[in-house]
Amino acid sequence: MTDDMKLVLSKVPAVTLGFWIIKILATTLGETGGDSVSMTWLGETTPNAPQSWLGGYLIGTFIFGALLAVLVWLQIRARRFHPLLYWATIIASTTAGTTLADFATRSLGIGYAGGSLLLLSCVLISLFTWYRTMGSVSVDTVNTPKVELFYWITITFSQTLGTALGDWVADSGPGYSGGALIFGAALAVLALLYYATSISRVMLFWAAFILTRPLGATVGDYLDKPVAKGGLEFSRPLATAVLAIVILALILLLPQRPGEHPRAEATA
| Domain, as residue range, for 66 | 7-166+235-256
Are the CB atoms for 93 and 100 separated by under 8 Å?
no
Which of 47, 84, 44 lies closest to 63 in space, CA to CA? 44
226 within domain boundaries = no
61 within domain boundaries = yes
Are the CB atoms for 182 and 222 separated by under 8 Å?
no
Distance CA 34, CA 74 (A): 22
138 within domain boundaries = yes
The predicted structure's pLDDT at residue 55: 66
pLDDT tens for 112-144 read 888 889 889 999 999 999 999 999 998 888 888
207 within domain boundaries = no
H helix runs in 16-144, sequence order: 17-35, 56-77, 83-102, 111-134
140 within domain boundaries = yes
96 within domain boundaries = yes
175 within domain boundaries = no
The predicted structure's pLDDT at residue 2: 42
**Number of structural domains in the chain:** 1
178: left (phi over 0), alpha (psi -120 to 50) or beta: alpha
In the chain, which stretches have pLDDT less than 70?
1-8, 43-55, 261-268
Which of 218, 222, 197, 115 lies closest to 161 in space, CA to CA? 115
pLDDT tens for 131-190 read 999 999 988 888 889 999 999 999 999 988 988 888 899 888 888 889 999 999 999 999
250 within domain boundaries = yes
What predicted TM-score, i.e. pTM, was given to this entire model?
A: 0.86
End-to-end CA distance of the chain: 20
